[in-house]
């Protein structure tokens, strides 16, 4: 890439747009982590080779003044959101999207779609309910029912090309605040917009900035919290991978608002692609004169560093995160003082998560009124969610606050799937929202408008935005144990309620799952949960019991079925399974007896076999080898 000598954004945009007119067609291969894991880079190489073999003009990057004739532009992108259907290939301006593309499809794509404007039916998305073939994102319900504001450029721009970001009016908002707005005006605009923190707490962003702005200090810091650790959550990772410059621009605006000249992007070590692209974006912005000294000729300076976190979930808590940056063990500290007064290295500091910062340039560019037209009275704008679990269309979505769970799961998500992956209309059981800090929503909550206040009233929370859908084959005691095991492992151990309380709650859940529990177990589990929630030092401990307390409220009968009848209604708890052989189906083939590792199955050839429950370990080998569905208790 050519070095940009001066950050003249209008000229850069004009030059790029002029060069882009030479593009005959653009082929965009999703290069987010999910699609890369499914072979997207190999698909990219195969399409590149097919274009070259066809003798077509090809460029992999829009270069200024390098192309005399119209050519084809092949590029990668960040996450396009439709993760269940990857690898994804979009052909523009045709608005054609192909799903689950393989390298062997490359030649046909080039010959039919790129050269002859034909559409390949077998590579189109097929609606699992209607059977309808959808040509592209404009037709697919997964995309049509969203409002992709923060994610709008993810999957469209090349995340490693700063010029392309600028061509989408990138950094124009940063230029505006550095040259035209005062710090008070910036904070007032954010307050008026109603933007609240997207990392879990939901504190008003403009108020947080203003509290830091009014502090008197020669040194202040801005921190982007990219330490996304919730199981099943990948919103922040996808934003950093797919549009890193938007995140940097949000940090620059925050820095101008509070009077900071230095910032840190704190990213999980497990996100190598996000780390790579954030560092590349910073380097390109420095070369462009957008970061560094005398930004836009304003007299203000700004430098940004990327720091890789060690993978501790507790470092998502802001005081633990700052301790980690300072080179200390990531452990939370009591508040006050708050980071706005005494933060990183003892200086006033603003900490926002990735999604919050990515929304800021849009607000500055389009105005507060534009932003708060979306959402509800107390929850303005949109929210990204990682939609996972028993749902047809897993992926990354963005909807306005106030959208119902029914809309997300059944319309955008395409419906709930059974354990065989088939969409069925009657198997929805629950959704875990907010990860290990969140709570459980059930069928009675399907029409609840999702926003900060409604979810808190239901014993849940928006959190960072994880949405795990569960079907009726899911054991809610097991689900509670899964999240408690996670938080217990991630507890930093600093305070006794969290350190010991989570350990005890996990042991009590194990007793329930193993058939050792009594009513006293249940009462003690609930009591300890309430104590941990009230007495823990930081947000991790205070919210750790939430999945348990939530499932106790919503699925008390399921807990009591485990405790009183020693029976798991979904048959997922191994110790509570009742394993037997159906005499009507057993033909005495002896396959199960030969494979049983503990010799629990007896019976002569061509005679009905019997399982000794005292010996059986319920490993499931007999169920796997039986060809006649004679073994009962595993399904």
- C-beta of residue 190 within 8 angstroms of C-beta of residue 209: yes
User: What is the model's pLDDT at position 626?
Assistant: 93
pLDDT (average), residues 47-54:
92
Both 463 and 363 in a single domain? no
Q: Is residue 354 part of a domain?
A: yes
- What pLDDT was estimated at residue 6? 55
Rg of the chain over Cα atoms, rounded to whole angstroms, equals 27
Specify the pLDDT at position 514: 92
Q: Name the nearest CA neighbour of 156 among 80, 247, 56.
A: 80
Q: Comparing C-alpha atoms, which of 371, 365, 412, 375 is closest to residue 391? A: 412
CATH code of the domain containing 526: 1.20.1440.230
3-state secondary structure of 344: helix
340 and 209 share one domain: yes
pLDDT at 338: 93
- Considering the domain architecture, whether residues 80 and 175 belong to the same structural domain is answered as no
Compute the residue count for the chain: 635
User: DSSP string covering 479-491, please?
Assistant: HHHHHHHHHHHH-
pLDDT in tens, 163-186: 999 999 999 999 999 999 999 999
Q: How many CB atoms lie within 10 A of CB 604?
A: 10
Any idea of the CA torsion for 376, 380, 385, 391, to the nearest 10 degrees? 20
* pLDDT reported for residue 69: 62
Count of domains forming the chain: 5
Strand order in the sheet with 349-353: 303-309, 262-268, 221-226, 349-353
**What are the two backbone dihedrals, phi and then psi, of residue 93, each rounded to the nearest 5 degrees?**
-90, 15
* DSSP letter (8 states) at residue 418: -
**Banded pLDDT at 635 (limits 50, 70, 90):** low
d(CA 448, CA 405): 7
Q: What is the mean pLDDT of residues 16-42?
A: 91
431 and 447 fall within a common domain:
yes
Q: Does the structure show a pLDDT above 80 at 62?
A: no
Distance CA 512, CA 514 (A): 5
CATH number where 332 lies: 3.40.50.11540
Do 246 and 356 fall within a single domain? yes
DSSP result, 116-127: T----GGGSEE-
State the pairing for strand pair 23-30/71-77. parallel
pLDDT value at 334 more than 70: yes
**Residue 5 has what pLDDT?**
44
For β-strands 349-353 and 221-226, DSSP reports them as parallel
Mean pLDDT, the chain, rounded, equals 91
Scanning 314-450, the segments in alpha helix (DSSP H) are 318-325, 354-366, 368-371, 405-406
> What are the two backbone dihedrals, phi and then psi, of residue 279, each rounded to the nearest 5 degrees?
-65, -40
User: Where is pLDDT greater, at 147 or 20?
Assistant: 147
Listed residues 439, 474, 509: the one ending a domain: 474
Asked whether residue 1 carries a pLDDT value surpassing 50, the answer given is no
The domain in which residue 131 lies consists of: 9-136
CB 469 within 8 A of CB 388: yes
Residue 2 has pLDDT above 80, yes or no: no
Structure token pair of residue 236: 């922040």
How sure is the predictor about 316, in pLDDT bands with cuts at 50, 70 and 90?
A: confident
Do 47 and 54 contact (CB within 8 A), yes or no? no
Residue 618: give its domain's CATH number.
3.30.70.20
CB distance 571 to 634 below 8 Å: yes
145 falls within a domain: no
Query: Rounded to the nearest 10 degrees, what angle do helices 546-554 and 556-564 cross at?
Result: 90
pLDDT at 64 over 70: no
263 in a structural domain? yes
Q: How confident is residue 368, by pLDDT bands cut at 50, 70 and 90?
A: very high
pLDDT for 67 beyond 60:
no
Percent of the residues in the chain that have a pLDDT greater than 70, as a whole number: 97
Question: Is pLDDT above 80 for 3?
Answer: no
Task: Specify whether 115 is located in the same domain as 263.
Answer: no
Q: Are residues 323 and 440 in the same domain?
A: no
User: At residue 389, does pLDDT exceed 70?
Assistant: yes
How confident is the model over 203-226, as a mean pLDDT? 96
């Amino acid at each position: 890439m050519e070095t940009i000598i001066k950050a003249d954004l209008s000229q850069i945009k004009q030059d790029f747009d002029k060069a882009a007119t030479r593009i005959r067609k653009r082929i965009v291969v999703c290069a987010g982590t999910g699609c890369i894991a499914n072979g997207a880079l190999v698909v990219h190489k195969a399409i590149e080779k097919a274009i070259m073999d066809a003798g077509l003009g090809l460029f992999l990057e829009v270069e200024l003044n390098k192309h005399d004739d119209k050519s084809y532009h092949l590029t990668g992108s960040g996450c396009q959101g439709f993760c269940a259907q990857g690898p994804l290939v979009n052909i523009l301006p045709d608005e054609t999207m192909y799903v689950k593309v393989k390298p062997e499809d490359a030649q046909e794509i080039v010959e039919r779609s790129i050269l002859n404007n034909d559409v390949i039916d077998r590579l189109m998305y097929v609606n699992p309910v209607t059977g309808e073939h959808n040509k592209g994102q404009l037709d697919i319900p997964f995309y049509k029912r969203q409002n992709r504001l923060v994610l709008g450029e993810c999957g469209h721009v090349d995340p490693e090309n700063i010029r392309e970001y600028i061509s989408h009016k990138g950094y124009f908002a940063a230029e505006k605040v550095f040259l035209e707005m005062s710090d008070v005006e910036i904070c007032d605009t954010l307050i008026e917009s109603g933007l609240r923190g997207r990392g879990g707490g939901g504190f008003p962003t403009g108020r947080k900035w203003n509290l830091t702005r009014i502090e008197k200090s020669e040194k202040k810091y801005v921190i982007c919290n990219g330490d996304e650790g919730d199981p099943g959550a990948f919103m922040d990772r996808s934003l950093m991978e797919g549009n890193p410059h938007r995140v940097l621009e949000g940090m620059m605006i925050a820095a101008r608002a509070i009077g900071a000249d230095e910032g840190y992007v704190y990213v999980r070590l497990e996100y190598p692609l996000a780390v790579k692209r954030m560092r590349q974006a910073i380097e390109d912005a420095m070369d462009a004169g957008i970061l560094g000294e005398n930004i836009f000729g304003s007299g203000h300076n700004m430098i940004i560093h990327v720091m890789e976190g060690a993978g501790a979930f507790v470092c998502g808590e802001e005081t633990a995160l700052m301790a980690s940056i300072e080179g200390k063990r990531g452990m939370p500290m009591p508040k006050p003082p708050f980071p706005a007064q005494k933060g990183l290295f003892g200086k006033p500091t603003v900490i926002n998560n990735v999604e919050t910062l990515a929304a800021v340039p849009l607000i500055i560019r389009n105005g507060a009124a534009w932003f708060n037209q979306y959402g509800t009275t107390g929850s303005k704008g949109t929210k990204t969610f990682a939609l996972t679990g028993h749902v047809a269309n897993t992926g990354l979505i963005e909807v306005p606050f106030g959208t119902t769970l029914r809309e997300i799961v059944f319309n955008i998500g395409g419906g709930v799937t059974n354990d065989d992956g088939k969409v069925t209309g009657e198997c929805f059981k629950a959704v875990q929202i907010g990860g290990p800090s969140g709570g459980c929503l059930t069928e009675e909550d399907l029409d609840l408008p999702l926003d900060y206040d409604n979810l808190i009233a239901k014993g849940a929370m928006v959190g960072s935005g994880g949405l795990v859908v569960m079907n009726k084959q899911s054991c809610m005691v097991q689900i509670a144990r899964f999240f408690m095991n996670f938080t217990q492992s991630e507890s930093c151990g600093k305070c006794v309620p969290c350190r010991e309380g989570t350990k005890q709650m996990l042991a009590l859940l194990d007793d329930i799952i193993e058939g050792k529990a009594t009513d006293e177990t249940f009462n003690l589990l609930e009591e300890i949960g309430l104590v941990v929630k009230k007495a823990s030092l930081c947000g991790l401990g205070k919210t750790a019991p939430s999945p348990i307390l939530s499932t106790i409220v919503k699925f008390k009968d399921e807990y009591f079925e485990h405790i009183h009848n020693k029976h798991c209604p979904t048959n997922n708890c191994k110790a509570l399974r009742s394993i037997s052989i159906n005499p009507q189906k057993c033909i005495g083939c002896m396959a199960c007896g030969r494979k049983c590792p503990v010799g629990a199955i007896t019976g002569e050839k061509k005679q009905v076999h019997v399982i000794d429950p005292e010996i059986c370990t319920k490993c499931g080998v007999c169920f796997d080898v039986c060809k006649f569905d004679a073994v009962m208790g595993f399904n």
